[in-house]
Structure 1
Amino acid sequence: MKKLLTIPLLALLASCGGKESESTEQKNILENLTYSVDTVVVDAGDDFLSLGFRLGAFDLSPDKKELLFFQNKPLSLVTVSLDELKVLSITEFETEGPNSVGSFIGNLEAGPSPDVFIKGFNGQGIFTAKGEMIENLKIFPEGLDQKYTNDFMKIYGNSIYDFQSEKFYTQPYGEIIKDNELWVIDPASKTYTSYPLPKMKSVGDLAITFTQKTADGTMSSYYGPSAYMEIQNDQVLISGGTMSGVYRLSSQADSIEFIDIKHITVPNEWNITVQKVSSDEASFKEDRRKIAEQLNFMDFKWDDTREMYIRFGKKTFLGENRGDPSSYELYLFAYDKDFNVLGETKIAGLETIPSSYFFKDGKLYSYVNVEDELGFAVFTFEF
């Protein structure tokens, strides 16, 4: 194992005024937050890891002892021991033929066994750790208009698969639907149930596009808030950067619930207007800056050691000119299992936004590239 690199401990104090949360009437547990950061490096042995796409699609094994991710050149599944901080295996996958879903992996889910779920641009299925497809899940629900049965990505482009319920949770886009919806697709019966997601409309309403005509045709640039969907603490959570609230669906439930989370130190929703489509570059840049400087709520992560959800929020301040670095303000929020606010604070002294991050043993691991080797910034929060 390679010697671990250590960043000096940061004892940074952050306060948010000592007010109590209106949603729980509890003291703000993050009022006196301190944290330290260490950097660890994974031993790849004699192998070289291709990190051009960072971690890309990744997941943890159910026991959180292993990290699984795909590197694209060549297309290979990498398994890393998080306890030993070393690469356990690199298995090359086919990019063509019956055991392939294409040359680019869009989603990876680790199953309760060595099997994994993989989604590409051309299909999806359950694979063995050796790269053999054991179940082809490129299915289209019955009752769907036949003209959409070739639109695989419009149905599954924004989807996750749950090994526990053996169902897909997906938000189709394009002309397939008129409004924001969640589809729960059962591959066994080829049926689906749809649930409205009206609050997610704000994410699309505040996305902007710049169009420019050139000699080669029309070029478009896109910018907007993020949307998130993932399974945390055995629940499907759907949220967006524009709002504090979250949709929650239990894998065993037959209805979806919107939880209107109320913070007291930050706005709970955006209050801006933008021009959705513009051909004026100056106007587009101004709206892009306006969007970036809003508090963009990020996704939820369940910390099973504290039995609470942790969530970041960020404000991005773009550079004046193309290529100039951006600067950030970073916020941290904590919630109980029912999404009552336990704490909220602005974090000082952090220059980069956590990337491809997850909790293990109460510590937050965030991907970092250490001289072209796989590493993690490991955050220890004290509160």
Structure 2
Amino acid sequence: MTMNKLNCLLLALALVGCSSEKSSEGSKPDAFEFSYTIDTVQVDPGDHFIYLQQNLGSSDITPDGKYLLNFNAKTIEMEIVDLDELKLSSVVKLEQEGPNGIGTSPYFGAYRALSTDEFMFASQNKVIKMDLTTNQATYYSFKRSDLSPDALAANEELKNGGLLSSDGSIFYSWYGIQEKPYENHGLAKIDLGSLEVKVIPIPQMDKLDQFTIEVAMSDGTGMRGKFGENITLLELEDKIIIQQSAFNEFWVLDKATLEVTVKANKSNLTENVKAGNFANKVTSQDAFKEARNARDKEVSFGNLILDSERNMIWRISSDFDHMDGEKMVRNYYLTFFDLDLNQLGEYQLENWMMAGKPFIKDGDFYQFLNLEDDMAFVRLKPNFGND
């Protein structure tokens, strides 16, 4: 075992047995009792090297929670991990070209595992549904000529990223101005059966501009770009929840009416909005690094994770604690919401770390951990007093 791997393992093992009896200071005082323990589990890859370069960003959990399907963009394979046995179950080789190919640039913005046999990919202009047992592909094209007339303005286009519905029938794609690839104005609801498109403006997204760092290098390289807040989508039965990392609030899209409302939250453990004390425009690498470091010291609200067993939503947020040399140490906070997005309780976590895509299985919270190029998970086992 290398020294780096040993250090990672010692850090992970230091979490085992940690518990918290903290009560919620920013919500209903008698919502529920909460404590937890933490351990670390590792996946046996056999003789295969599991693809971890995207921190499981190209993966999804099957609806029964038993398998993780991880798309390997390097080898064009689907890696199927048995989460009950914590081992690699199988690897399915996918076609890159031909009538069932996924394309020569297989990088997608949304993924959905319908089962261990069916997996969906979505990019800027197409969705692919793969039958992993037969390697047969079904394609849905989003070329402008294929979409319903006047769905988008002449200068608008669909962007990469979004959300595939749980039944695989709808794709909620980001859209925006063609000349501004880093800006999204809203969502386009695309029916994959009819290719009918309904455009859903989200004016609240303009509020995020104040926290965006625009890069325009003056060193002759011509490098340009924008680095904004993290935005994710969670599907509930009758709504889509838009979660962003700058404000302690949800933007709620009603699936039936396509109207967007704001659900504000209040925390007593963190600030409720980023302060924005960093430069919004930079022209050098040093200035960009300084701005990123300053922004990283401010509060950040994490992804929403559905706990369907308890009919709750989990969210882990963080803020700055101190610097340990050049390493930034952050505080982490776990907040629970009911399915109407009412806050139930918030708790500070001890000895926590964030490292990739989380999910809930059998009532436990799994946080991906890259253990020196091996797949592992930090597992938080909650106790709500009435479990």
- The residue number in structure 2 matching 1:258 is 262
- The residue number in structure 2 matching 1:155 is 158
Please, which runs of 5 or more residues in structure 2 have no aligned partner? 1-8
Secondary structure of the residue that 1:305 maps to in structure 2?
coil
Quote how far apart the aligned CAs of 1:260 are: 1.9
Quote how far apart the aligned CAs of 1:69 are: 0.7
**Following the alignment from structure 1 to structure 2, what is the Cα–Cα distance between the partners of residues 254 and 100?**
31
- The residue number in structure 2 matching 1:341 is 343
Amino acid at match of 1:101: G
Amino acid at match of 2:90: S
**Following the alignment from structure 1 to structure 2, what is the Cα–Cα distance between the partners of residues 327 and 79?**
34
How big is each residue's C-alpha offset from its partner over 1:345-381, in whole Å with a ceiling of 9 and x where there is no partner?
222322x214211001110111123343222121112
- The residue number in structure 2 matching 1:327 is 329
- The residue number in structure 2 matching 1:356 is 357
Quote how far apart the aligned CAs of 1:242 are: 0.8
Summarize the alignment of residues 1-383 of structure 1 with structure 2, pairs less than 5 Å apart: 7=13, 9-13=16-20, 15=22, 19=25, 21=27, 25-27=28-30, 29=32, 33-98=34-99, 99-106=101-108, 107-112=110-115, 114-120=117-123, 123-130=126-133, 132-140=135-143, 141-144=147-150, 154-164=157-167, 166-175=169-178, 180-215=185-220, 217-220=221-224, 222-232=226-236, 235-252=239-256, 254-272=258-276, 274-279=278-283, 284-316=288-320, 324-350=326-352, 352-383=353-384
Change (3 A) 1:47 1:104: same
Quote how far apart the aligned CAs of 1:67 are: 0.7
How big is each residue's C-alpha offset from its partner over 1:263-299, in whole Å with a ceiling of 9 and x where there is no partner?
3333322343554322266654443333212211111
Secondary structure of the residue that 2:208 maps to in structure 1?
helix
When the two structures are superposed, what TM-score results if normalisation uses the length of structure 1?
Answer: 0.83
Secondary structure of the residue that 2:291 maps to in structure 1?
helix
After superposing the two structures, state which structure 1 stretch, 33-42 or 140-149, moved more: 140-149
Contact 2:119 2:129 in 1 (8 A): yes
Change (3 A) 1:94 1:343: same
Please, which runs of 5 or more residues in structure 1 have no aligned partner? none
Change (3 A) 1:10 1:278: same
Contact 1:292 1:318 in 2 (8 A): no
Q: How many residues align?
A: 366
Q: CA RMSD for the aligned pairs?
A: 3.2
**Following the alignment from structure 2 to structure 1, what is the Cα–Cα distance between the partners of residues 125 and 184?**
25
After superposing the two structures, state which structure 1 stretch, 133-142 or 64-73, moved more: 133-142
Amino acid at match of 2:45: A
Amino acid at match of 1:155: L
Quote how far apart the aligned CAs of 1:329 are: 1.6
Quote how far apart the aligned CAs of 1:135 are: 2.0
- The residue number in structure 1 matching 2:5 is none
Change (3 A) 1:111 1:252: farther
**Following the alignment from structure 2 to structure 1, what is the Cα–Cα distance between the partners of residues 149 and 322?**
46
Secondary structure of the residue that 2:298 maps to in structure 1?
coil
Contact 1:70 1:78 in 2 (8 A): yes
When the two structures are superposed, what TM-score results if normalisation uses the length of structure 2?
Answer: 0.82
Change (3 A) 1:108 1:133: farther
Quote how far apart the aligned CAs of 1:66 are: 0.9
How big is each residue's C-alpha offset from its partner over 1:21-51, in whole Å with a ceiling of 9 and x where there is no partner?
2xxx45354xx74322222222223433233
